[in-house]
Amino acid sequence: MIKVATIAGSDASGGAGLEADLKTFEEYGLYGMAAVTVIAAMDPENNWSHKVFPLDEAALRAQMETIFKGAGVEAAKSGMLGTFHAVELTREYIESFHVKNYVLDPVMVCKGAGEALNPELNTAIAEKLLPLAQIVTPNLFEAAQLSGLKDIVFLEQMKEAARIIADKGAKHVFIKGGSKLAGAVRAIDLFYDGKNFESVESPLLKTIWTHGAGCTTAAAITSGLAQGLSVYDAVLTAKQFIFKSLEAGFPLNKWVGPGNPSSWRKDTVFKG
Ligand code: PXL
């Protein structure tokens, strides 16, 4: 059995965070483990506003010991970290257990939650985790934060950001433009291996039910790497995976709608 782990927040609503990761690992046929960094809960009495409850350092370290010392992994990803000790413990365990297939999803915002989370952590994420990442998977906002560029709305700016982020140590960069690039008629993401750029595209889905799309994409890349795919092939497969998931997205309630990773079991995927 191929073992993979996520170091991430729990999203009690089930669409994002470690819940999305474990669902995705399962669809790839892998054995998933999870170290919980924070617990995110949403208030149905107050417009689904997010509350985040961090776990303390001892609780997180104990989970890291379980996973990395107690079991071992072929690949691991990190998502919402939420505290400095979570950033530092991620660095420590990924480094000391030589996790080559480490996917850094630099979660800085939640869809629907509006505000950036813990902006004071962004520098620590960039300095400590980018140099360990086999691949980093920012959205446009996160790519701007990691690169120091102001606004990223055009493909050329995505390329510039990818170059800067690779210079900070990430071996591969996958910036998710999706529907957000100016004038988008396709969902366009950008892959960079430090030398060449590849545009990774799918048809644009007209949907607002995209909660957890970033987590699912990074978990799918992690799974592909664990199975021995090249980084680029893991990204291409993940793009198919998230397309199918979002195609099957649905409203959970009047505030939020997740994708549906289990739709991977059904056959059609886009071609080209
Ligand atoms: O989608 C970003 C995200 C990541 N991790 C957790 C979350 C969210 C957004 O709600 O709750 C735990």
Residue 82 CA: distances (Å) to CA of 48, 89, 120, 251: 19, 12, 10, 27
Residue 3 CA: distances (Å) to CA of 33, 66, 223, 251, 265: 8, 13, 9, 32, 20
- Local mean pLDDT, 10-residue blocks, the chain (272 residues): 98 97 98 97 94 96 98 98 96 98 92 65 96 97 94 95 98 95 92 98 94 97 98 98 97 97 86 66
Using the structure block, give the residue that is written with the tokens 């750029």: 197
Q: Residues enclosing ligand 1, CB less than 6 A?
A: 8-11, 16-17, 40, 79-80, 107, 110-111, 212, 214-215
What was the pLDDT predicted at 183? 87
- Domain range annotation of the chain: 3-266
Using the structure block, give the residue that is written with the tokens 């990818």: 162
Give the tokens for residue 201: 């595209």
What was the pLDDT predicted at 218? 98
Cα gap 227→70, rounded to integer Å: 21
Q: How much distance in Å is there from the Cα of 40 to the middle of ligand 1?
A: 7
What was the pLDDT predicted at 269? 78
Give the tokens for residue 265: 């079991």
Nearest alpha carbon to residue 124 among 162, 78, 56, 182: 78
Residue-wise DSSP of 6-63: EEEEEETTSSSHHHHHHHHHHHTT-EEEEEEEEEEEEETTTTTEEEEEEPPHHHHHHH
Which of 110, 118, 217 gets mutated to test ligand 1 (max ligand atoms within 8 A of its CB)? 110
Give the tokens for residue 257: 């709608």
Strand bridging mode 197-203 / 102-104: unpaired
CATH number corresponding to 3-266: 3.40.1190.20
Which of 23, 80, 142 gets mutated to test ligand 1 (max ligand atoms within 8 A of its CB)? 80
Residue 223 CA: distances (Å) to CA of 40, 75, 98, 158, 249: 24, 7, 17, 25, 21
Nearest alpha carbon to residue 109 among 121, 91, 99: 121
Cα gap 194→72, rounded to integer Å: 29
